[in-house]
Structure 1
Amino acid sequence: MSSNLLGDEIEDILRSAFESADGELLIVDPSADVIESLVELGPAFEGDLPPLKLLADERLLKDVMDDFLVASSAADLVENGDLEIRSLAGDADNSLLVTGERVVAVVTAGDRVAGLTTEDEQFVETAFDTYSQRFEAADEYNLRTPAISRVRETMAASIGEGPRADFDTVLSSLETARGDGEGLDEVTITLLVAAKNDVLLYDISKWGEDVGIASKATFSRTKTRLEELGLIDTEKVPIDVGRPRLRLKLGDERLVGTDAAELASVAQSMIAS
């Protein structure tokens, strides 16, 4: 039995697993906190990231990946070839981190977390073979959210560096960006940033559809909702041929002049009121 891993944060356990893995790291039946920590730590890890294979309950995956902040970071890892995600068929007995050298059971108690570890060769070999086979037999999870690096790159190219910088600042001010209809999801955030920068609705919705954030129809519906709430306004911009296009503007004096770091909190308070 090797030394157990103790820490205040799940990241401590994951970082140790990354550092000690000599080959693939299987993450089996993790909690939401483990998944969120995994996709946050993965891009920031300074060493050689082991190939990550995430095998998780599909309902949990859907719930966790409804948060744009989590899903877009996970998509980055997937696109870079660092992470594979598959749906767990049935339950596992524990939440596990499994490599060819050791098995770690992740246990939380209050605000503490522990990794109960064994390096018993026979047990580790059996566990690694068992969950590797389950992973290979599992269905691939369809992560529809675009990678955050692609979102940033294409927004800068299509909409401008200013809106992209504001978009990053707004995201960094949020703990979650969930599409639950009540908070600030990725479409709402994008439209608010576009309005702050006087971007055309056509341009932001076309970019959003092309990059995979949402359809033009979803952008249009969300724009209408934000107009009804008084958060944004529009003005018509004539074009040479066809109907005038709409320029997005912030619609409330509480938002006009607000810097990007405070835009989300002010908008959220207005939506909730």
Structure 2
Amino acid sequence: MVDEENLHGGSFEEVLATVFESTDALLLVDPAGRTVEAVTTVTSAVAEPPAVRILTDDRVLKEVMDDFVVASTAADHVESGTLTIRTGTTAANTLLLTEESVWALVGVDDHVAALGSDRDGFVAAARDTYEGQWERAEPFKLRTPPLSRVRETLGEDIGQDTRADFDATLDALESTREATGEFDEVTLTLLVAAHNDVLLYDISKWGEDVGIASKATFSRTKTTLEEEGLIRTEKVPIDVGRPRLRLKLDEDQFEGATPAELAAVTLDRA
């Protein structure tokens, strides 16, 4: 029995995890960015997540998907078929609709609650309304590549040591960035590349091919990092054409740099 039953938790993740356990499919209507982020987190953590559809305002999605980790994790779930996202007319409240119930989500400070109902008439009316909105809604196009593809190709194209540094630095960022905000994935990638003495040509070509950013963006960010004294470059002659540039961390700024230190620099520049 769900009717007039409340779910309580310290976070949206806790409440969503509870709902995930009881359904094979759900439609999330009008979530805030924090709730969208929670969906990507819980979907990653659950062994067999339900099929999730998100319907919300385009502005909300653009803002939350500006975060590389959220967007790339969402892209993984979209690619696997677990997550579908559309934009269009939304609701007055954040709603979770399953086959048999409707939940209204409310978050206040560090507490989240969901008020549920499984009354047949109410659930049917809600589903008719929002399924209709879903059918009329436009698909949301994610421009960020799946995180699994980023990691896999980084190891294959650049090197497993660089991938290990990337993963460790990303983990360090995830443990600290909630209080400090977003970060720039190009800066992160270049710092990790410099820590491993990777050629600018190689990392920027990989970054453009995988869909992180253009070669021009990598080049501009490299110049900025040089001007700030964080990295330096060494010319590497090649048989034909201009020398390539090898990225290196500036020894005056970094000595035996750890992933946590690289993460801190990345956040400071966000």
Q: 5+ unaligned residues in a row in structure 1: which ranges?
A: none
Residue 63 of structure 2 corresponds to residue 60 of structure 1: no
Aligned to 2:31, the other structure's residue is in SS state coil
Q: SS at 1:20's partner residue?
A: coil
Alpha-carbon separation, structure 1, partners of 2:214 and 2:252: 29
Paired residue type of 2:120: E
Alpha-carbon distance in 1 for matches of 2:265, 2:16 = 35
Shift of 1:126: 1.3
Partner SS state of residue 27, structure 2: strand
Q: Tell me which amino acid in the other structure corresponds to 2:206.
A: W
Is 2:50 the counterpart of 1:42? no
User: Which residue is 1:30 aligned to?
Assistant: 31
Q: Which residue of 1 aligns with 2:14?
A: 12
- Aligned counterparts, 1:170-209, within 5 A: 170-175=169-174, 184-209=183-208
Contact 1:68–1:145 (8 Å) recurs in 2: yes
**Cα 1:250–1:143, aligned 2, differ >3 Å: closer, same or farther?**
same
Equivalent position of 1:75 in the other structure: 75
Structure-2 residue corresponding to 1:262: 261
| Structure 1 SS opposite 2:245 | strand
Aligned-pair CA distance for 1:16: 1.4
8 Å contact kept, 1:236–1:244: yes
Q: Which residue of 2 aligns with 1:102?
A: 101
Which letter does structure 2 place at the counterpart of 1:173? A
What secondary structure does 2:55 align onto? strand
After superposition, the Cα gap between the structure-2 partners of 1:83 and 1:190, relative to the gap in structure 1 and judged at 3 Å, is same
- Contact 2:73–2:146 (8 Å) recurs in 1: yes
**Post-superposition offset of 1:198:** 0.1
In the aligned structure 2, how far is the partner of 1:157 from the partner of 1:117?
A: 47
Aligned length: 265
SS in 1 for 2:257: coil
Residue 261 of structure 1: how far off its partner (Å): 2.6
Structure 2 counterpart of 1:199, which letter?
V
* TM-score of the pair, normalised by structure 2: 0.93
CA distance in 1, matches of 2:15, 2:119: 19
CA–CA distance in structure 2, aligned partners of residues 248 and 130 of structure 1: 55
CA contact (8 A) 1:69 1:177 kept: no
How far 1:267 sits from its partner (Å)? 5.0
CA distance in 2, matches of 1:87, 1:266: 35
Using the TM superposition, give the Cα deviation of residue 266 of structure 1 relative to its aligned residue in structure 2, in angstroms.
4.0
Q: Is the 8 A contact 1:29 1:88 kept in 2?
A: no
Q: Say if 1:233 and 1:251, in contact at 8 Å, map to a contact too.
A: yes
Q: In 2 relative to 1, CA 2–184 (structure 1 residues): closer, same or farther, beyond 3 Å? A: closer
Whether the 8 Å contact between 2:187 and 2:266 is mirrored in structure 1 is no
Q: Superposed, which structure 2 residues align to 1:79-228 within 5 Å? A: 79-89=79-89, 91-175=90-174, 184-228=183-227
| Residue 268 of structure 1: how far off its partner (Å) | 4.2
**5+ long unaligned stretches in structure 2:** none
- Give the SS at the match of 1:124: helix
